[in-house]
Chain A
Amino acid sequence: MTEGVKSYYGREQRQMKDSALKMRDIKKKFRGFTLDIPQLEIPKGFSTALIGENGAGKTTLLNLLAGIRLDYKGEITFFEKWKDAERERETNPVREMIGYTGGGNYYLPNWTVGQAEEVTKLLFEKFDSDKFELLLEQLQIVERGIGGKAKKISELSDGNKMKLMLAGIFARETQLLILDEPASPLDPLMRDVLCDMLRGYIESGGGEKTILFSTHNIADMENVTDYAVIMEHGRVVERGFVEDLKEKYTLVKGESEDAEIAEPALVSISKNHYGFEGLCLTENLNQLAGLDMQTERPTLSQICVAVMRQNSRIRLS
Chain B
Amino acid sequence: MKAIKSYLCFVPFLYRILVLVLMPVVSCGVEYGLMLDYVMPMYLLLMLVVIAEVLADYWTFGGICAREFHGAEYLKSSVKGRGVLKAALFVDCIRKAIWLILLAGVNVLCWQQKTGEPVTNHVVRVMVGMVCSAYIAILIGNCVGRYVQNYGILLFVANLAGIVYIGISFVFLGVPFLVCMLGVAVGFGLTYFSVWNVMRKMEEGYYDGES
A interface with B by C-beta (< 8 Å): 27-31, 66-73, 87-90, 92, 95-96, 98, 100, 102-112, 114-116, 118-119, 122-124, 146, 150, 168
Q: Are B208 and A123 in contact (CB under 8 A)?
A: no
Once the chains are docked, how many angstroms separate the CA of A87 from the CA of B76? 12
Assuming the contacts A27-B211, A71-B207, A88-B79, asked whether A109 and B74 have C-beta atoms less than 8 A apart, the reply is: no
- Point out the residues of chain A lying under 8 angstroms from B76, CB to CB: 67-68
Within 8 A of A (CB), among B1-50: 2, 5-6, 8-10, 12-14
Smallest Cβ-Cβ distance to A70: which chain B residue: B206
Q: Are A114 and B13 in contact (CB under 8 A)?
A: yes
Among the listed B12, B13, B78, B149, which residue makes an inter-chain contact with A123, where contact means beta carbons less than 8 Å apart? B78
Min distance, Cβ A145 to any Cβ of chain B, angstroms:
13
- Point out the residues of chain A lying under 8 angstroms from B118, CB to CB: none
Once the chains are docked, how many angstroms separate the CA of A73 from the CA of B10? 34
Min distance, Cβ B14 to any Cβ of chain A, angstroms:
8
Among the listed B10, B61, B78, B207, which residue makes an inter-chain contact with A115, where contact means beta carbons less than 8 Å apart? B10
Per-residue A-contact encoding for B171-197, CB less than 8 Å = 1, 0 else: 000000000000000000000000000
Once the chains are docked, how many angstroms separate the CA of A105 from the CA of B81? 15
Among the listed B59, B205, B210, which residue makes an inter-chain contact with A29, where contact means beta carbons less than 8 Å apart? B210
Among the listed A31, A87, A106, A122, which residue makes an inter-chain contact with B80, where contact means beta carbons less than 8 Å apart? A122
Residue of B6, B68, B205, B208 with most chain A CB atoms under a 10 A cut-off: B208
Min distance, Cβ A150 to any Cβ of chain B, angstroms:
6
Can you list 27 A-B pairs with a CB-CB distance of less than 8 A? A29-B210, A30-B210, A68-B73, A68-B77, A69-B206, A70-B206, A71-B210, A71-B211, A90-B80, A95-B77, A95-B79, A96-B78, A96-B79, A100-B73, A103-B73, A108-B10, A108-B64, A108-B72, A109-B63, A109-B149, A112-B13, A114-B13, A118-B8, A119-B9, A119-B84, A124-B78, A150-B12
Q: Does B123 contact A (CB under 8 A)?
A: no
Min distance, Cβ A30 to any Cβ of chain B, angstroms:
6
Q: Are B211 and A72 in contact (CB under 8 A)?
A: yes
Assuming the contacts A69-B208, A108-B64, A123-B84, asked whether A102 and B73 have C-beta atoms less than 8 A apart, the reply is: yes
Per-residue A-contact encoding for B49-70, CB less than 8 Å = 1, 0 else: 0000000001111111000111
Assuming the contacts A73-B211, A122-B84, asked whether A150 and B74 have C-beta atoms less than 8 A apart, the reply is: no
Residue of A30, A73, A108 with most chain B CB atoms under a 10 A cut-off: A108
Min distance, Cβ B38 to any Cβ of chain A, angstroms:
37
- Point out the residues of chain B lying under 8 angstroms from A68, CB to CB: 73, 76-77, 205-206
B interface with A by C-beta (< 8 Å): 2, 5-6, 8-10, 12-14, 58-64, 68-81, 83-84, 149, 205-211
- Point out the residues of chain A lying under 8 angstroms from B211, CB to CB: 27-29, 71-73
Once the chains are docked, how many angstroms separate the CA of A107 from the CA of B169? 38
Once the chains are docked, how many angstroms separate the CA of A68 from the CA of B68? 15
- Point out the residues of chain A lying under 8 angstroms from B5, CB to CB: 118, 122
Interface SS of chain B: helix
Q: Are A110 and B12 in contact (CB under 8 A)?
A: yes
Assuming the contacts A88-B79, A110-B62, asked whether A118 and B210 have C-beta atoms less than 8 A apart, the reply is: no
Smallest Cβ-Cβ distance to A29: which chain B residue: B210
Assuming the contacts A67-B76, A123-B80, asked whether A110 and B58 have C-beta atoms less than 8 A apart, the reply is: yes
Smallest Cβ-Cβ distance to B59: which chain A residue: A110
Q: Are B74 and A106 in contact (CB under 8 A)?
A: yes
Among the listed A66, A70, A108, A114, which residue makes an inter-chain contact with B77, where contact means beta carbons less than 8 Å apart? A66
Assuming the contacts A72-B211, A115-B10, asked whether A109 and B69 have C-beta atoms less than 8 A apart, the reply is: yes
Min distance, Cβ B189 to any Cβ of chain A, angstroms:
26
Assuming the contacts A27-B211, A71-B207, A118-B9, asked whether A123 and B73 have C-beta atoms less than 8 A apart, the reply is: no
Q: Are B206 and A105 in contact (CB under 8 A)?
A: no
Smallest Cβ-Cβ distance to B2: which chain A residue: A122
Among the listed A96, A102, A112, A118, which residue makes an inter-chain contact with B71, where contact means beta carbons less than 8 Å apart? A102
Min distance, Cβ B200 to any Cβ of chain A, angstroms:
15
Once the chains are docked, how many angstroms separate the CA of A150 from the CA of B8? 14
- Point out the residues of chain A lying under 8 angstroms from B209, CB to CB: 71
Q: Are B12 and A115 in contact (CB under 8 A)?
A: yes
- Point out the residues of chain A lying under 8 angstroms from B69, CB to CB: 105, 108-109
